[in-house]
Amino acid sequence: MPQLDLMTSLAIETFAHAIQAIFLIGFASLLMYYHRYYQRDYLRYWSFACFAFGPSELIRAALAGSAMIAPESALSWSGGLQGVALTFQYLAIAFIALGASCAAFNSRPQTYWQYVAYAVSLISGIISYFWLEPTISYVGSTPNAGFMRFLVTGAALLIIGLFMWRKLGSGIGPKLVSGGFFSIGIKNFLVLSVILSLPANAVDWVLSFQALLTVIIIAVVIVGVIIWLLESERNTAVRAIQRAEYLHTHDALTGVSNRAQLVSKIPLFIEYCRSNNRHLTIMLVGVSRFKVVNENIGIRGGDQVLKEIARRLQNFNKQPLTVSRISGDVFAIAFDHLKNRSLIQDLATELQDTLNEPIEVGEKTLSIAAGVGIARYPQHGSRSEVLLNKATIALTQAKQSHQPTITVYERGMDEMYAYLVDMEPVLRKAMRENEFTLYLQPQFDFDHQQLCGFEALIRWQHPERGLLSPAEFLPYIEQLGLSTELDDWVLNQAAAILTSWKQKFGFCWPIAVNLSAPQFQHFQLIEKMQRLLEDYNISPEWLELEITENVAMSDLHNGMSVIQRLREMGFGISIDDFGTGHSSLAYLRSLPINKIKIDRSFVSELQQNNNDATILKAMIRLSHGLGKRVIAEGIETEEQQDMLQKLGCDMMQGYFYSPPMRLQFAEQFIERQIQSNKKPLPPGEFATA
Ligand code: C2E
Ligand code: CA
Ligand code: CA
């Protein structure tokens, strides 16, 4: 190997470093361009790495070049510049490491680690500066200077290469990149061993050309990055297509098939049932008042409930053909082995029981009530949409009552459903345009022989059909989930009436308001009631809340604490339609209410049925024993009034005393009371026996 003279050696070195610098800055721009386009953070770090490597090579080129032209003057400042070049190089290594971590963990390294990396490179640069001899680091004269840079960068790149090889995917791109880093590391160690072992003339050759080798390896790394990007773009596209295909047939939340998939499967089931003489049964399962569940435990909690329902349906041990989620809270489950109605009923009951088991959501445990709507092939149709529509109609029916039922589709249900669909916009408009109005029915106190309050009863002043009673529209309000909105309206209206009475008469007669089940179970009922008191500046004992027995009992634990809170706030609570529910006397003891309202059915039967009189007597006695007052509703005749008074009833309400009336007539009623010196009874009288 010929001995290189100093000038030639310096010329080669200048050229090699300059070429390396130009390539690196080119690569840096290319990587930055790709980063902008593909938004991968590791590209940005590696672009910075090339940007940092570039100047360090440029400095080296300048040093070698100036040593060639003016060897004397170069000596004085070469040490400092060497230090700067090395700092840049360490910074580049830091950027490569940060980029590698970014690519491996798919997220940017924490700011903390970034600062550590920059600090380490800066400190290493400063240390090397003081450690370097102030001479040009070409070989033969001072191996010390080059030694550090080859050792540190070599070790770092070996580690980074190995790390990436293990962490990143198996594609050609990542392998080329990590292999590239690894090779530069190996190359640096080879250069080191050359420096230590070979004669100076060989070292000159090796050193002069290793820079060019570095450029070639970096070019391979860049090619690797491009292949990597293309590979990952392709994978992303493939994944997106797979996901889209999955979502086309599956429900993203629960993983069961979706409506579209079910609709396309039903014809196959029908075909199978037809040729094997089987019956297809489609059951739709819907959670009763799922909106309330969502309001109580939040949307995420609601999602958990839906997932749990899907899981239970999938694990249901009666071999369903398929389980699908066809809309918000409605699931479909199909069977082909149910021959007759009683088998269907049994299985649906079992299904209902499975779903009614408590569900744990976070720290809460809740029970849902599921209704089941059923349609069958061939009885109810032979097309997917027809069967699903009929099952939906049956489900709507099943969810109507407070305790959802199992309902098999029957002829005639369609009209009811069609009517409901038509009613929705009409009812919403009625609410918007204030077509509802409150009627007040006076209540009479036997002991004091005077008016003791009113019950607020809603009416709908229909623009075409005239005044409608609740029976004509409340069922639709309930089914359309508008109960809470309507109850809010009634509460506000009643509170406004109380405020105006306070101004007009100087005092108020209490108004009882009916609360629907969704309103009573509304998670913000207490806050709403508190706001109502503040907004209208009224006293809580002027408002009485009527809840029916079944609503109070349906979730005894929660119901009890809501009643307790409302009582503590000062509201009167009475149990409406008492005696018609499934609990009655047994639970009366535990409910912290202050009044019971005996249902109209008892009153109307009173004269014919001796048994009822005995039951009523027991009820009234027990209520009084528990400190609760008793009011009877629906009293139409003097005889009924007398009998109830004899049985110990405290108050009455009914057509005999007065029908429900418009506000203006109720106010005239009050004025007559005032004229005969009757004032509202004090709240104490009202609250205890
Ligand atoms: P309810 O709470 O049991 O109300 C008593 C019902 O009995 C009222 O019917 C009232 O007009 C009627 N009534 C009163 N005295 C007599 C009588 O002597 N004989 C007969 N046969 N009936 C009498 P209405 O106003 O048609 O209300 C029916 C039901 O609608 C109410 O039953 C209540 O459950 C519901 N409702 C009425 N207004 C509201 C309201 O503002 N909000 C809510 N959520 N429900 C309401
Ligand atoms: Ca009532
Ligand atoms: Ca009632």
% pLDDT > 70, the chain: 91
Two tokens, residue 137: 């680091």
Q: Say if residue 41 is in the same domain as residue 142.
A: yes
Burial class (CB in 10 A: 0-12, 13-18, 19+), 667: middle
Instruction: State if residue 666 touches ligand 1 by the CB under 6 angstroms criterion.
Output: no
Looking at 411, 444, 473, which one is the last position of a domain? Answer: 411
- Cα torsion through 311, 315, 316, 318, rounded to 10: 150
pLDDT at 584: 56
- Rounded Cα gap, residues 312 and 318, in angstroms: 12
Instruction: State if residue 490 touches ligand 1 by the CB under 6 angstroms criterion.
Output: yes
CATH number, domain at 303? 3.30.70.270
- Does the pLDDT value for residue 3 go beyond 70? no
Q: Say if residue 207 is in the same domain as residue 275.
A: no
280-287, strands of its sheet edge to edge: 257-258, 322-327, 330-335, 280-287, 370-377, 406-408
Q: What is the mean pLDDT of residues 616-635?
A: 91
The atom of ligand 1 lying closest to the CA of 469 is 26
Lowest mean pLDDT segment, chosen from 230-234, 267-271, 333-337, 385-389 = 230-234
**Which residues, in sequence order, are CB contacts of 87 under 8 Å at separation 6+?**
121, 122, 124, 125, 126, 128, 129
Q: Say if residue 505 is in the same domain as residue 572.
A: yes
pLDDT at 654: 97
pLDDT at 582: 56
Q: Say if residue 529 is in the same domain as residue 601.
A: yes
- Rounded Cα gap, residues 64 and 136, in angstroms: 7
Instruction: State if residue 442 touches ligand 1 by the CB under 6 angstroms criterion.
Output: no
- Rounded Cα gap, residues 385 and 391, in angstroms: 10
Examine residue 202 and state whether it is found in any structural domain, yes or no. Answer: yes
Q: Say if residue 213 is in the same domain as residue 290.
A: no
Q: What is the pLDDT of residues 464-489, one digit of tens each?
A: 889 999 998 998 888 777 889 999 99
- Rounded Cα gap, residues 638 and 368, in angstroms: 46
Cα 241 from chain centre: 25
Q: How far is the CA of 569 from the centre of ligand 3 (A)?
A: 24
Instruction: State if residue 634 touches ligand 1 by the CB under 6 angstroms criterion.
Output: yes
Angle between helices 172-197 and 143-167 (to 10 degrees): 160
pLDDT at 143: 45
Residue closest via CA to ligand 1's atom 27 equals: 470
Q: What is the mean pLDDT of residues 202-221?
A: 79
Q: What is the mean pLDDT of residues 113-120?
A: 89
Residue closest via CA to ligand 1's atom 30 equals: 470
Instruction: State if residue 632 touches ligand 1 by the CB under 6 angstroms criterion.
Output: no
Instruction: State if residue 478 touches ligand 1 by the CB under 6 angstroms criterion.
Output: no
Q: Say if residue 273 is in the same domain as residue 202.
A: no
Decide: 448 and 442 in contact? Cβ < 8 Å: no
- Rounded Cα gap, residues 670 and 137, in angstroms: 109
CATH number, domain at 616? 3.20.20.450
For residue 241, the one-letter residue type is: I
Ligand nearest to C-alpha 598: 3
pLDDT at 560: 85
pLDDT at 134: 42
Q: Say if residue 319 is in the same domain as residue 228.
A: no
Looking at 411, 436, 463, which one is the last position of a domain? Answer: 411
For residue 587, the one-letter residue type is: Y
What domain range is 366 assigned to? 257-411
CATH number, domain at 40? 1.20.1070
Examine residue 450 and state whether it is found in any structural domain, yes or no. Answer: no
Q: Say if residue 232 is in the same domain as residue 287.
A: no
Residue closest via CA to ligand 1's atom 45 equals: 514
Q: Look at residue 450 and give its three-state secondary structure.
A: strand
pLDDT at 574: 95
> Which of 437, 439, 457 has most ligand 1 atoms within 8 Å of its beta carbon, as the pocket-test mutant?
457
Q: How far is the CA of 597 from the centre of ligand 2 (A)?
A: 8
Q: For residue 222, which of 339, 73, 50, 364 has the smallest C-alpha distance? A: 50
Q: How far is the CA of 366 from the centre of ligand 3 (A)?
A: 29
| pLDDT band at 609; cut points 50, 70, 90 | confident
Residue closest via CA to ligand 1's atom 8 equals: 457
Instruction: State if residue 398 touches ligand 1 by the CB under 6 angstroms criterion.
Output: no
| pLDDT band at 83; cut points 50, 70, 90 | confident
Q: What is the pLDDT of residues 147-193, one digit of tens each?
A: 777 888 899 999 999 999 998 877 888 899 999 999 999 999 988 88
Residue closest via CA to ligand 1's atom 28 equals: 470
Decide: 620 and 592 in contact? Cβ < 8 Å: no
Examine residue 89 and state whether it is found in any structural domain, yes or no. Answer: yes
> Which of 525, 599, 633, 639 has most ligand 1 atoms within 8 Å of its beta carbon, as the pocket-test mutant?
633
Q: What is the pLDDT of residues 566-589, one digit of tens each?
A: 999 999 999 998 877 655 566 777
Q: How far is the CA of 455 from the centre of ligand 2 (A)?
A: 7
> Which of 479, 489, 514 has most ligand 1 atoms within 8 Å of its beta carbon, as the pocket-test mutant?
514
Decide: 398 and 371 in contact? Cβ < 8 Å: yes
Q: What is the pLDDT of residues 497-519, one digit of tens each?
A: 999 999 999 999 999 999 998 89
- Does the pLDDT value for residue 648 go beyond 70? yes
- Does the pLDDT value for residue 350 go beyond 90? yes
Q: pLDDT averaged over the chain?
A: 86
Examine residue 456 and state whether it is found in any structural domain, yes or no. Answer: no
Top-confidence residue, 2 or 489: 489
pLDDT at 141: 42
Examine residue 442 and state whether it is found in any structural domain, yes or no. Answer: no
Q: What is the mean pLDDT of residues 549-559?
A: 74
Instruction: State if residue 636 touches ligand 1 by the CB under 6 angstroms criterion.
Output: yes
Top-confidence residue, 314 or 550: 314
Examine residue 555 and state whether it is found in any structural domain, yes or no. Answer: yes
The atom of ligand 1 lying closest to the CA of 635 is 18
Please give, one letter per residue, the 3-state secondary structure of 125-187: HHHHHHHCCCCCCCCCCCHHHHHHHHHHHHHHHHHHHHHHHHHCCCCHHHHHHHHHHHHHHHH
Question: Domain tally for the chain?
Answer: 3
Examine residue 437 and state whether it is found in any structural domain, yes or no. Answer: no
Q: What is the mean pLDDT of residues 343-355?
A: 94
**Residue 651: strand pairing partners:** 445, 631
Please tell me which of 136-145, 283-292, 549-558 the model is most confident about, judged by mean pLDDT.
283-292
| pLDDT band at 536; cut points 50, 70, 90 | very high
Q: Say if residue 495 is in the same domain as residue 595.
A: yes
Examine residue 572 and state whether it is found in any structural domain, yes or no. Answer: yes
Q: How far is the CA of 576 from the centre of ligand 2 (A)?
A: 5
Q: How far is the CA of 25 from the centre of ligand 1 (A)?
A: 85
DSSP string for residues in 14-58: HHHHHHHHHHHHHHHHHHHHHHHHH--HHHHHHHHHHHHHHHHHH
Instruction: State if residue 295 touches ligand 1 by the CB under 6 angstroms criterion.
Output: no
Q: Say if residue 193 is in the same domain as residue 216.
A: yes
- Does the pLDDT value for residue 142 go beyond 90? no
Q: Say if residue 371 is in the same domain as residue 321.
A: yes
Looking at 411, 428, 447, which one is the last position of a domain? Answer: 411
Residue 63, CA distances (Å) to 57, 80, 92 in order: 10, 11, 20
Give the count of alpha carbons within 13 A of 362, CB side only: 9
Q: Say if residue 592 is in the same domain as residue 641.
A: yes
